[in-house]
Amino acid sequence: MAIDLSQFHQVFFEESFEGVGVMESGLLDMDPGAVDAEQINTIFRAAHSIKGGSGTFGFNDIAAFTHVLESLLDQMREGRRQPTSEVRTVLLRSVDVLRDMLKAASGGSSPDDESVKHLQQELEEILSNRERAAETEKSDTGPADPDTHELIGWHLVFCPLPNIMRTGNDPLRILRELASLGELDVRGDISQLPRFEHFNPEECHLSWDLRLHASVEQSRISEIFDWVEDECDLVILPIHAGDPAPLETTGQSLVPVAALPELSSVKAADPPVDRRAGNERRRTDRRTGERRTQGVVGSGSIRVDTRKIDNLMNMVGELIITQSMLSLLGENFKIEQVERLKDGLDEMARHTRELQESVMQIRMLPISFAFNRFPRLVHDLGAQLGKQVELKMTGESTELDKSVIEKIGDPLVHLVRNSLDHGIETPADRLEAGKPEVGRIELRACHKSGTIVIEVRDDGRGLDPELILGKAVEKGLVDAEAKLSHQQVYELVFQAGFSTAENVNDVSGRGVGMDVVRRNINELGGSIEIESVPGRGSAFIIRLPLTLAILDAQTVYVGEEVYIIPLLSIIESVQVKPDMINLVAGRAETYKLRNEYLPVIRLYEVFGVEGYKARALTEGILVIVEGEGRRCGILVDELIGQQQVVIKSLEANYERVEGVSGATILGNGLVALILDIPGVMRLANTSLEPRTLQWSA
């Protein structure tokens, strides 16, 4: 029975992308000229895992490229090559190519063959230069000491776990790869095979006693098993010339694993490699759910801590018990059981709320998945701009919804690039300003008041209000006589086409980006604001909801219609006072709130609602809201209450509606529209009609 390996492709790609991230992170942390064995081993293992998996699943071009990359890493691991800046640069470029190859393979497309071929040739050239140097060095040192105790082979015991084939690994392929190193004697153990009626062809119940007659380095043997080190018990023992013959096994059964260290004479300098303890620890971690939760943003799946799954199952169990109790109560219901019915419904509501929270926890991922691209970005862009920059990230374990992480990445990239290009000065300018030569960019994340706050801070030159205002006047965005606060001036950078850059480069300067950043953040139901001190630095502060699936909201009446206003957009709600109302140029109404004049939007006019009650401002409630850095008052008939609502997309079944971000189904079965506050403001600007003030009788 052939196993369909395509069922494992998704897992392979997820783990491979994680491996690429591990390689990139390790290379960025590497100190050129200094060998950190553990660091290089980590990078090597990630590359070897990708090579092994790609070979197993038939992605031979990826396996071939990674093999060359792995060979270079192997030289560094064994101390035969120093991790110079030049080598690290080539390896980072190789990581980029490998990532592109994986993306192409996962999407069913073809990679850029020219780039792959060019970089593979560059890697092979580096390798061939080192090998020629090694041969020259060997010939200069003369023949080896004839008294050296000669290594003539290896004795291995390979005991796969039953589920090894379910993860896409084939023990036969491993044995074939081992046989490529030299003559291999193989003895199989079938003692653990189950009876035929219990046999599962997708499980492995075989193990092998292996003797490799080849004086190869132990690392070459170990790397063959790196891909399955979590899926097997393995012992590797050296065989030297003059060693006594190893004990033979009886029949088809192997010597018990506990007795394996006695199979041959082992020198203290050559300890056996026994991975059973490490494998057992990793398996224990998986059983207890303590393995680090990982995922690949943008993929169709995510890895979940087993404790979250267990908690979800507990909640479902409690819900089923309560549902059964209510069903029994309903079969022979009597009026005196009303209190018991109310208690049951309260319990059902509590369990439903807990179930909702458990499901949302499953979708939560650490924001490190959005942050992990920035060390490479800062490294490459700093070198391109001739700036020295240190990146500090805090709050990487802060969790938020997977869908939010997927959509916040691009805005953050633009903000970090802006900080590097416009904020951080060159080393010479920083020294002249009395600052350290190395600039600093910080990425911070934390939870505050039911939202997530992300900050991008730098210690650069900061924003110059006079320069920004001058550019805005020059472009006709504001009147030359306008009197704006610093915060209002900073808001101008979010205008489309606005830029203070003197020169346009491939990093920034075209005025395209900051308006898109704000629009993308608003589409997530969030907001962005700026703090800056000229000469000392700037901070862009983003506030986002934890999830896009459920919204904390205020429900309001306008006529017979119910609308939903996100709580994140609401500042306060006020009863209108007649002496605070003003009419501007016979067209728009404003409301004076603490010395600030806010435009008033009558929601019934924007959406054409009939049967509205608040014909005069004093007859309704003014909900003060904020969107895209602007504030206004939205006139509604009545406030209903605050509640959590489940967001349903309109675009999936209809099309995008200006001023509406989605819909929800209320408890009475009616559909209510969720307001997009910036969209409502845009609609109001085009729908306002000249009017006279209306006062209540």
**Active-site residue list:** 48, 70, 418
The secondary structure element, H or E, covering residue 345 is: helix 338-363
Provide the strand spans (E) within 466-549: 527-533, 537-545
Q: Which helix (H) or strand (E) holds 615?
A: none
Distance CA(307)–CA(390), nearest Å, equals 36
**666 contacts 640 by C-beta, under 8 angstroms:** no
Q: Residue 452: is it exposed, middle or buried by C-beta count within 10 angstroms (0-12/13-18/19+)?
A: buried
Cα 591 to Cα 526, 588, 618, 634, distances in angstroms: 25, 10, 11, 11
Closest CA to 155 of 268, 260, 228: 260
Q: Could you give the CA distance from residue 381 to residue 584 in angstroms, rounded to a whole number? A: 49
User: How do strand 151-160 and strand 527-533 relate by DSSP bridges?
Assistant: unpaired
Half-sphere exposure of 211 (CA within 13 A, CB side): 13
Q: What is the largest CA-CA distance in the chain?
A: 114
CB of 490 closer than 8 Å to CB of 468 = yes
Rounded to the nearest 10°, the torsion over CA 254, 260, 263, 266 is 160
Amino acid 50 reads I
Neighbours of 512 (CB within 10 A): 13
User: Who contacts 378 (Cβ-Cβ below 8 Å, separation ≥6)?
Assistant: 389, 391, 416, 420, 441
Please give the span between the terminal C-alpha atoms of the chain, in angstroms, as a whole number: 86
What's the CA gap between 122 and 118, in Å, rounded? Answer: 6
Question: Two tokens at 159?
Answer: 């005991």
Rounded Cα distance, 59 and 54, in Å: 5
User: What residues have CB less than 8 Å from 137, skipping those under 6 apart?
Assistant: none
